Amino acid sequence: MKEFLGIGGYQRQPEGALSWQHLTFVGLLMAAMIVLAVVLGKRNRNRDEKTKNRVLIAAAILIDAIEIFKLVVFCARGSGLAEMRHNLPLFLCSIQLIVIPLAAFSKGRVREAALDFVFVFGLLGGVLGTVGAFQNYNAYPVLGIENVASGLTHSIAGFASLYVGISGMAGMERRNVPITYGILLFFIAAAFIANAALDYNYMFLRRGDGTPYDVLYNLVHGSPVLYPIGVVALFLVYIAVFYLIVGLVRRKRRAAGAQRS
């Protein structure tokens, strides 16, 4: 248990990104994420909102409980304040620690926009934070608290995204698009401030750090101006394209339904 929690430092060497251990671990997480989302989403699709929301409440409680447990372990290892400063929910993936509970427990337009945000970004974060988390798997053993907790929380985010979509909880209405953008821009601004104050790399706005963002970082030759602008632009374009695709799919379904009737 001490070795799993990294108490006293790990005795094992990291297996490395894209090792069979990394791919096996995240493959199992992805399989569980998809199967649970499909089964529960289809089962609850035609049920009332209260029944649908119970699954989201469970996901909200679980994702935050795992993150809190991880932070408690970090503090117990003696890392304390330094670890807390570097584990603020200011990465694209970790925003779900706030937005999933917001979607589960709030009401009205805020709830609608939060559900949309979970739907739009949850699966992306789930994949990037597991399969694409090269920096973590190069730094820590696969079966260590850092990678296990991160894998579980990112998979829960991916599960919530799929579940919200399959169960029909995501409204994806145009009137909520500005709120979805607003949520993202708020966290981007917070990440810029935190990066300047703590000399850190939240939302990977400074550099790629061994993630797929390195493609953009290398493309602009590490420009401290073009790189963060490019990252933010990718986020904003992704939201627009996601809404567009969902809208096209829904129109196509309505047209097909009208033809059958």
Residue ranges of the chain whose pLDDT lies below 70: 79-83, 261
Report the alpha-carbon distance of residue 108 to residue 121 in Å, rounded: 20
Structure tokens belonging to residue 187: 């966290």
Structure tokens belonging to residue 11: 């005795």
pLDDT tens digits for range 119-178: 999 999 899 889 988 889 999 999 999 999 999 999 999 999 999 999 999 888 888 888
Structure tokens belonging to residue 12: 């094992």
Query: 114 vs 19, 110, 121, 170, CA distance in Å?
Result: 35, 6, 11, 9
Q: Are 96 and 204 in contact (CB under 8 A)?
A: no
Per DSSP, 102 falls in state H
Query: 235 vs 18, 74, 221, CA distance in Å?
Result: 25, 30, 20
Phi first, then psi: what are they for 200, rounded to 5°? -125, -170
Give the three-state DSSP class for 162. Answer: helix
For position 80, what pLDDT does the model report?
A: 59
Q: Are 242 and 120 in contact (CB under 8 A)?
A: yes
Report the alpha-carbon distance of residue 184 to residue 117 in Å, rounded: 9
Specify the pTM: 0.90
Query: 253 vs 52, 77, 175, 248, 249, CA distance in Å?
Result: 23, 54, 21, 9, 6
48: buried, middle or exposed (CB in 10 Å: 19+, 13-18, 0-12)? exposed
Report the alpha-carbon distance of residue 85 to residue 179 in Å, rounded: 28
CA-closest candidate to residue 167, choices 49, 38, 41, 35? 41
CB atoms near residue 179 (< 10 Å): 16
For position 261, what pLDDT does the model report?
A: 64
